[in-house]
Structure 1
């Protein structure tokens, strides 16, 4: 049976260590980490007050070949990144085990990873490999596929689903509204800004994967 593990690992075991060390207030997030077997996805979402400094540091980071800004929203920016090979020892370990990194978000010196393993033996091997290679890690949660509710079929990450469910249960979508974003963010122990990002992106994923069955053709008149 598959097992899901949520780990904290130091930034030097993954990517953008130098950048995150220089700018500890920056947060970086993948929604899908690995594509085409062992290639890191080229897309990252970045939340930074000083995008100019982030772009300068990230472009010079040893793991980056090229960085290109694609879209900017209220609180975050989407980048396309060309990564160098051997970008992080954690990814190497995961590939060796044939496990899958489903989500990754980094900032303030560490990365939070959600990894799907085939079984608990694979989890033990991952932990042992980390010990042998002197990679520090902190296991936050370990659970089976029957425990969490999953919104994967609708394109939601676990964090986005958690934010939606928590907001709905608290009455955020009721009329009149019973709680504020600050109340829900406090419950989830995240910032109001992070919660706003998760809800916006969750709404986007739900619309894209439920209402928008057939995307409009280019140049279609409305």
Structure 2
């Protein structure tokens, strides 16, 4: 059975430790899924600094970066093709094992969050056991089967939260001035205005967390 696992890995055990640890406001994310090409790891990475600090000098100083090819550089980051020498061989198996596919990764604050599709769960278990024996630090955040994944376009909203937010928007609840009220929305759904208010509040909280705080790409669900 296929499995999708979300891992949290310190950058010191993988790559770009200097970039992500010394500059915690810098974030990195592959532009597309990453696999090993021969014996090298050369991902196309999007990097960004929150305070407009140039990231290229940090890349050139990072010991895990052996080659830099700017693709679409900007003042605060941009897209780069990087030749990487991962800091430990154990994590290289993520990119070399045919039964494992790295769906995406997100680096910030000295760590990477990596999402992996395992077509063979035994291969994944073997890899994790190998990491533990080698003393590697990592956290397993989530394990799900692909069919149980929520629609990533919904940013983790429940069905009731999603339909309440969309209905509120379509009825002008967010307009200035408002075209509808909490009471009118409660009448549409046939529940109390307190329940509608709670759905909206929790939906807003989830949207802010997933769209603004965690900032994953739409193809990822961390």
TM-score (norm 1): 0.67
- Partners of 2:41 and 2:84 within 8 A in 1: no
Give the RMSD, CA atoms, in angstroms.
3.6
Displacement of 1:23: 0.7
Q: For residue 166 of structure 2, what is the aligned residue in structure 1? A: 171
- Partners of 2:10 and 2:138 within 8 A in 1: yes
Q: 1:54 to 1:103 in 2, by over 3 A?
A: same
TM-score (norm 2): 0.67
CA distance in 1, matches of 2:206, 2:136: 31
Q: For residue 149 of structure 2, what is the aligned residue in structure 1? A: 148
CA distance in 1, matches of 2:103, 2:167: 28
Q: For residue 213 of structure 1, what is the aligned residue in structure 2? A: none
Displacement of 1:90: 5.0
Displacement of 1:5: 0.5
3-state DSSP of counterpart to 1:34: coil
Structure 2 residue runs of 5 or longer lacking an equivalent are 176-200
CA distance in 2, matches of 1:103, 1:27: 14
Q: For residue 27 of structure 2, what is the aligned residue in structure 1? A: 27
CA distance in 2, matches of 1:78, 1:176: 39
Displacement of 1:82: 2.7
Q: For residue 212 of structure 2, what is the aligned residue in structure 1? A: 192
CA distance in 1, matches of 2:136, 2:2: 24
Q: 1:173 to 1:91 in 2, by over 3 A?
A: farther
Bigger Rg over Cα: 2
Q: For residue 48 of structure 2, what is the aligned residue in structure 1? A: 47
CA distance in 2, matches of 1:46, 1:80: 8
- Partners of 1:15 and 1:87 within 8 A in 2: yes
* Pairing 1:81–2:81 present: yes
- Partners of 1:172 and 1:179 within 8 A in 2: no
CA distance in 2, matches of 1:17, 1:82: 14
Instruction: Give the number of equivalent residue pairs.
Output: 188
- Partners of 2:105 and 2:113 within 8 A in 1: yes
1:11-160 to 2 correspondences below 5 Å: 11-30=11-30, 31-34=32-35, 36=37, 39-64=40-65, 65-68=67-70, 70=72, 72=74, 77-86=77-86, 88-89=88-89, 91-95=91-95, 97-98=97-98, 99-149=100-150, 158=152
3-state DSSP of counterpart to 1:15: coil
